[in-house]
Amino acid sequence: MRKLIDLHLHLDGSVPFTTIKELMTIHGLPTIDDQILRQKLSVGPDCRDLNEFLEKFAFPVHLMQTAADLQLIVFSLLKKIKKQGLVYVEIRFAPQLHTEQGLTQEEVVRAAISGLNQFFNWQKMHSSSQPELHANLLLCLMRLPHNYDQNLETITVAKHFLDRGVSGLDLAGAETPAFAISNYTSLFNLASQNSIPFTIHAGEAMGPESIYQALDLGARRIGHGIRCIEDTQLVAELIQNKITLECCATSNLNTKVFDQIDHYPVKKLLNQGVNVTLNSDDMTVSNIDLPHEYQLLEEKTGLTRADEKQLYLNAVTAAFCSNAEKKRLFSLI
């Protein structure tokens, strides 16, 4: 089994199907036929765009409003991806989306960290020949109307838990001109002042200009960023400044960034010297996992084992984790 790293994995888009069913039972929700439930949680080949893709998050988020829910989901997700050969993962979510039943953002994050710790304890008790899976959390600021205070609170919570389960920030949500990245300058300036690492979703629904905005804010990693391929000057800047792209192949097909996987440019960018990584994004929404993504690109784009080793090394270099963890990850390859 190959060793894998996922730097771009959304918690609410990756809740295991069996865990969704368990939570529905816990909360007394009516039973839904499995096929209908999967349609509720996952996109099909006829998905129109990113906005339709994002609609699939509504039902899982409804089931993620108590501390027990969040702890169970994090624990269950980590157990699932451990079986896939992952050795390190950064799980991202927006605490402000999980406060509908009275939890504070701090309580939300505490619950997620409890899920991490529950998994780490379980992992110690179930030793195997596979390397340990280590994990950190990224807290997402959201592109939403009138939520500056909630985003500011997320930064405060991230600072409080930094290096204690939380390792960075993100900016997520619909990419539209109304929510241009430049609108969030003051928030990311605050993150920088507090030495909180961050990545920013850009270059997916919106083009290269959104990546330039993320770079202007100081982002060293770009969530997706795949549309950099449209701007040769931008590609050169990414190479020169060693900016890492968190590429998510099937997700970009789902949201119609690309029409065919054969044209997906991870291998091309890798050969040009861009610090590319390969990630799953939303396992449940896209109905995939990370081993599937590697196999897909092997079959459709000629991705080689040497390419995959470089993707792994790029991920270790870019990970928001301690130097000791980076040393462990490098030793595994």
Say what the pLDDT of residue 205 is: 84
Banded model confidence at residue 46, pLDDT cuts 50, 70, 90: confident
Q: Is the pLDDT of residue 50 over 80?
A: no
For 72-90, how does the pLDDT look when each residue is reduced to its tens digit (9 = 90+)?
999 999 999 999 999 999 9
Rounded mean pLDDT, 131-137: 96
Is 218 strand, coil or helix?
coil
Q: Is the pLDDT of residue 103 over 90?
A: yes
CA-to-CA separations, 177 to 142, 207, 245, 247, in angstroms, rounded: 14, 11, 22, 22
Q: Is the pLDDT of residue 19 over 80?
A: yes
Rounded mean pLDDT, 241-245: 98
Say what the pLDDT of residue 293 is: 97
Say what the pLDDT of residue 178 is: 87
- Report angle CA 286, 291, 295 to the nearest 5 degrees: 95
For 225-241, how does the pLDDT look when each residue is reduced to its tens digit (9 = 90+)?
999 999 999 999 999 99
For 273-313, how does the pLDDT look when each residue is reduced to its tens digit (9 = 90+)?
999 999 999 999 999 999 999 999 999 999 999 999 999 99
- Per domain, the residue ranges of the chain are 4-332
Say what the pLDDT of residue 116 is: 98
Tell me the catalytic residues.
Answer: 204
For 110-123, how does the pLDDT look when each residue is reduced to its tens digit (9 = 90+)?
999 999 999 999 99
Q: Is the pLDDT of residue 128 over 80?
A: no
Of 49-53, 209-213, 272-276, the poorest mean pLDDT is in 49-53
Q: Is the pLDDT of residue 160 over 90?
A: yes
- Alpha-carbon span 54 to 51, nearest angstrom: 5
Banded model confidence at residue 126, pLDDT cuts 50, 70, 90: confident
Say what the pLDDT of residue 174 is: 82
Q: Is the pLDDT of residue 37 over 90?
A: yes
CATH number of the structural domain 4-332: 3.20.20.140
Which backbone phi and psi does 8 adopt, to 5 degrees?
-135, 85
Q: In what order do the strands lie in the sheet with 244-247?
A: 199-202, 221-224, 244-247, 275-278
Q: Is the pLDDT of residue 127 over 80?
A: no
Banded model confidence at residue 1, pLDDT cuts 50, 70, 90: confident
CA-to-CA separations, 60 to 56, 63, 128, 250, 273, in angstroms, rounded: 8, 5, 31, 20, 38
- Alpha-carbon span 93 to 166, nearest angstrom: 11
Say what the pLDDT of residue 275 is: 98
Q: Is the pLDDT of residue 331 over 90?
A: yes
What rounded mean pLDDT belongs to the chain? 95
pTM of the entire predicted model? 0.96
Say what the pLDDT of residue 221 is: 98
